Chains A and B, each alone.
Chain A
Amino acid sequence: DTAVSQTPKYLVTQMGNDKSIKCEQNLGHDTMYWYKQDSKKFLKIMFSYNNKELIINETVPNRFSPKSPDKAHLNLHINSLELGDSAVYFCASSPGTGKTEAFFGQGTRLTVV
């Protein structure tokens, strides 16, 4: 069974469109994250939720909006997609917010054309 699963795995869309990426974890973790990996493979955190509450909101354009309907799910909605949004987006989860590692999904490769 996949611990952290994201859908879709690949997403190709035109500039200006709105798209969503879904993430679900079956590990019973309280905390979930979105990370962005750019074309140079650099990873940077975007958001974090703990028990459905937003606890990290890095400097991300307002076009990106996370939503956590329950602590097992964290979705990422992106409005008015731009070429620069092309990247791999990783969802992750962890048991808490301190002394523990994060478990990552397989990633969603978003290509904006």
Chain B
Amino acid sequence: AQSVTQLDSQVPVFEEAPVELRCNYSSSVSVYLFWYVQYPNQGLQLLLKYLSGSTLVKGINGFEAEFNKSQTSFHLRKPSVHISDTAEYFCAVSAGNTGKLIFGQGTTLQVKP
């Protein structure tokens, strides 16, 4: 069975500082990994995805993530955050052939001026 753990429930950070949101997964089969962002009272928007190939993936809004198979991690990073990045971030894994996404508990990124 697959599972996802987001290691931080809340990450406060000052504007223009770098940030890393941590995600670890567990799976016995090959996985596809995703980061989604949820702004208040909105749906989920895909930030980036790892399906295969290069382990460093770049997404929208300046975010990137690195797939580390040996550490079963897929941490999300941004070198300089903006107030507008304040949102809930979800790491998700998809395995098998059903398309089912298993989500982590979410990390609230709070960017302070």
B43:A98 contact, CB within 8 angstroms: no
With a CB–CB cut-off of 8 A, which chain B residues contact A42? 103, 105-106
Complex partner residue of A44 from B36, B51, B103, CB under 8 angstroms: B103
* Size bin of chain B's contact surface: 20 to 34
| Nearest-neighbor residue (CB-CB) of B108 within chain A | A41
Complex partner residue of A102 from B42, B52, B101, B105, CB under 8 angstroms: B101
| Nearest-neighbor residue (CB-CB) of B101 within chain A | A102
Closest beta carbon of chain B to A86's beta carbon, Å: 16
Given A41-B106, A42-B105, A99-B32; A48-B44 close (CB under 8 Å): no
B106:A97 contact, CB within 8 angstroms: no
The CA of A50 and the CA of B100, in the complex, are separated in Å by 12
A97:B43 contact, CB within 8 angstroms: no
Given A41-B88, A42-B105, A43-B90; A56-B43 close (CB under 8 Å): no
Proximity bits, A35-61, B CB within 8 Å = 1, else 0: 100001111110010100001100000
A107:B43 contact, CB within 8 angstroms: yes
B46 on interface, CB distance cutoff 8 Å: yes
B99 on interface, CB distance cutoff 8 Å: yes
Complex partner residue of A106 from B43, B99, B105, CB under 8 angstroms: B43
Highest count of chain B CB atoms <10 Å: which of A42, A98, A107 = A98
Closest beta carbon of chain B to A21's beta carbon, Å: 14
Proximity bits, B33-64, A CB within 8 Å = 1, else 0: 01010100111111001011000000000000
Q: Which of B64-108 contact A (CB under 8 A)?
A: 88, 90, 97-103, 105-106
Which residues in A have some Cβ–Cβ distance to B below 8 Å? 4, 31, 33, 35, 40-45, 48, 50, 55-56, 90, 92, 94, 96-107
Instruction: Give 29 pairs: A residue, B residue, CB < 8 Å, sorted on A.
Output: A4-B43, A35-B101, A41-B88, A41-B106, A42-B103, A42-B105, A43-B90, A43-B101, A45-B102, A48-B99, A56-B100, A92-B44, A94-B99, A96-B99, A97-B97, A97-B98, A98-B97, A98-B99, A99-B32, A100-B51, A100-B99, A101-B34, A101-B46, A102-B101, A103-B46, A104-B43, A105-B43, A107-B42, A107-B43
